[in-house]
Amino acid sequence: MFPVEKMCKVLKVSRSGYYSWLKQKPSKRVQETENLLKQIRTVFSASKQTYGSPRITQELLSQGIKISRPRVARLMRKAHLKSLIKKKFVVATTDTNHSYPVAANHLNRNFNPSQPGKAWVSDLTYISTSEGWVYLTIIMDLYDRKIIGWSLSQSMKAIETTIAAWQMAVKNRPITRNLIFHSDRGIQYACPAFTQLLKKHPLVLQSMSRKGNCWDNAVAESFFKSLKSELVYHQDFQTRAEAKQSVFEYIEIWYNRQRRHSGLGYLSPFEFNNGSLQNVA
């Protein structure tokens, strides 16, 4: 460390100029950038490092902060903030090795119904824990992309998977109009225990994807892609109870109420549904 006087002489600057520079406050632009970076970090952290620049931009705009997506992207690069690396999601093979009747594809990829309660989709996936596999079944209302029913089970029996998720769904969102219930051709959806349950509701029309065509149920598959990319692939669940707690928090606290969905104009299901109800009123 050299004396200030000697450094000023070597660098050919005045001593008074050096001290003036020390006392100089950051420019308004620098202060604004620092504040934006702080707000971006807050949103990024709240998303558990899953949000990229589009969703962070929408979150900031919702808070009244005027900023463009390219600027958010530049600031994120500057701060080395990058959305979690997502592993490739592989669609699980559906167990269609059964002799039960299958329904026609009545949904026909109409993924944007005009009202809630007109089209629900469902699917099932698996999650690994140190205690063994657990199986997650979800039912989503396509209108607002909300998960209205779900079940996490140790077996793939219909009573613990599709039936349990259905019972939660009809409790959370009672059936009041003609409803298409769509799924793949898996045994949990085709077995008599489940199909007879659907038939108890005269307004429900069961629909199934074409054989081997995962695109017919693309929205449900997309949910599992998000779940695994944003949660499961970054966790090492020691117990089934730990997995259930994490899935509960992801669905009920994050996905349904806070996560911004590109298919909903970057609103959360909660915001989208509440906004629709206000518009109707």
pLDDT interval class at 140 (50, 70, 90): very high
Report the chain's mean pLDDT, rounded to a whole number.
86
Model pTM? 0.77
pLDDT at 277: 43
CA pair distance 121, 129, nearest whole angstrom = 26
244 burial type by CB count under 10 A (0-12 exposed, 13-18 middle, 19+ buried): middle
pLDDT at 171: 97
Q: 11-15, 41-45, 123-127, 254-258: lowest mean pLDDT where? A: 11-15
- Averaged pLDDT, 187-209: 96
Does residue 154 carry a pLDDT above 80?
yes
Closest CA to 126 of 155, 106, 148: 155
Q: 42-56, 104-118, 173-187: lowest mean pLDDT where? A: 42-56
CA pair distance 27, 88, nearest whole angstrom = 44
CA dihedral 120, 93, 150, 145 (to 10 degrees): -40
- Averaged pLDDT, 196-222: 93
Q: Which residues pair with 6 in a beta bridge?
A: none
Does residue 192 carry a pLDDT above 80?
yes
- Within 8 A by CB and 6+ apart from 177, the residues are 115, 117, 118, 203
pLDDT at 74: 87
pLDDT at 185: 94
Beta strands 146-153 and 132-141: pairing type?
Answer: antiparallel
> Are 151 and 160 in contact, with CB atoms under 8 Å apart?
yes
pLDDT interval class at 263 (50, 70, 90): confident
pLDDT at 152: 96
CA dihedral over 34, 39, 40, 46, signed as positive or negative: positive
**What class has domain 119-279?**
alpha beta
> Are 123 and 220 in contact, with CB atoms under 8 Å apart?
yes
pLDDT at 16: 67
CA dihedral over 145, 204, 181, 108, signed as positive or negative: negative
pLDDT interval class at 17 (50, 70, 90): low
| DSSP code of residue 263 | G
pLDDT interval class at 21 (50, 70, 90): low
Closest CA to 53 of 72, 33, 34: 72
Locate all alpha helices (DSSP H) within the chain, ordered by sequence. Answer: 4-11, 15-23, 28-46, 53-62, 69-78, 162-172, 187-190, 192-199, 218-230, 240-248, 269-280
Does residue 281 carry a pLDDT above 50?
no
pLDDT at 258: 92
* Furthest-apart CA atoms within the chain: distance in Å: 91
Residues 36-79: tens digit of each pLDDT = 888 888 888 888 788 888 888 888 888 888 888 888 888 888 88
- Within 8 A by CB and 6+ apart from 156, the residues are 95, 124, 135, 188
Does residue 240 carry a pLDDT above 90?
yes
pLDDT at 187: 94
pLDDT at 37: 85
- Averaged pLDDT, 210-237: 90
CATH 3.30.420.10 residue ranges of the chain are 119-279
- Within 8 A by CB and 6+ apart from 249, the residues are none
pLDDT at 91: 45
